[in-house]
Chain A
Amino acid sequence: DGGITQSPKYLFRKEGQNVTLSCEQNLNHDAMYWYRQDPGQGLRLIYYSQIVNDFQKGDIAEGYSVSREKKESFPLTVTSAQKNPTAFYLCASSSLARTGELFFGEGSRLTVL
């Protein structure tokens, strides 16, 4: 089955620790995105990438980092510099022919203790 897979689904972390969220897709999509979802604030863009080894900051990139070493993979690292990391994180992908038509993963819920 083609799709986009995020892991882990739930993650707990102590303050001061970095954590990496995985996102893998087998849809052969070029573009990949990371969004953060908080109640009442919709989906806010963290980072996005259209080609391997290139990515752009979104609206709330501070405290996050990404890499795009393979077309299929776009991991997100939540660093200790992120002030309010507890949130629901959604990864998405799209083809360049239909950019903006996003296919989402099931999300990762990060809780900082």
Chain B
Amino acid sequence: GENVEQHPSTLSVQEGDSAVIKCTYSDSASNYFPWYKQELGKRPQLIIDIRSNVGEKKDQRIAVTLNKTAKHFSLHITETQPEDSAVYFCAASIPSGGYQKVTFGTGTKLQVIP
């Protein structure tokens, strides 16, 4: 089955700096790569996603890149703010027997220091 690895597990940055979180996946059939943000005590929420036919996508201060050949994708947050502090999860979605199975990475706890 699909395996998604995520690094680093924790990340501390100064406010205003950039943060980068990296993920790799194992199954080349994966075709959709969402990123979720989970604030303390809250549910995960989708913040950005990318499909396998696109190499990069940007939404204000966040961007995601995808390298299908190397099977890795990354989340970039620029000009970090304290409210960016949360746990971030990458995921890979793969067609499976008529279903779409979504496998998550282990998460990155981002701390933005004011």
Contacts and interface: CB of A to CB of B under 8 A. Distances in A.
B104 A35 contact: yes
A71 interface: no
Contacts, number: 64
Contacts of B42: 106
B14 interface: no
Interface string A22-58: 0000000001010100001111110010100000101
Contacts of B102: 33, 45, 48, 99-100, 102
In this complex, the member of B46, B89, B99 whose beta carbon has the largest number of chain A beta carbons within 10 angstroms is: B99
B100 A42 contact: no
Contacts of B80: none
Nearest to A41: B106
A44 B101 CA distance: 11
Contact of A107 (B43, B93, B96): B43
A100 B32 contact: yes
Contacts of A48: 99, 101-102
Contacts of B26: none
Interface string A83-100: 000000010001000011
Contacts of B6: 42
Interface of B: 1, 6, 9, 32, 34, 36, 42-46, 49, 89, 91, 93, 96-107
**A-B pairs, 9 with minimum CB distance:** A100-B93, A99-B100, A42-B106, A104-B43, A43-B104, A100-B32, A42-B104, A42-B107, A50-B99
Interface of A: 31, 33, 35, 40-45, 48, 50, 56, 58-59, 90, 94, 99-102, 104-107
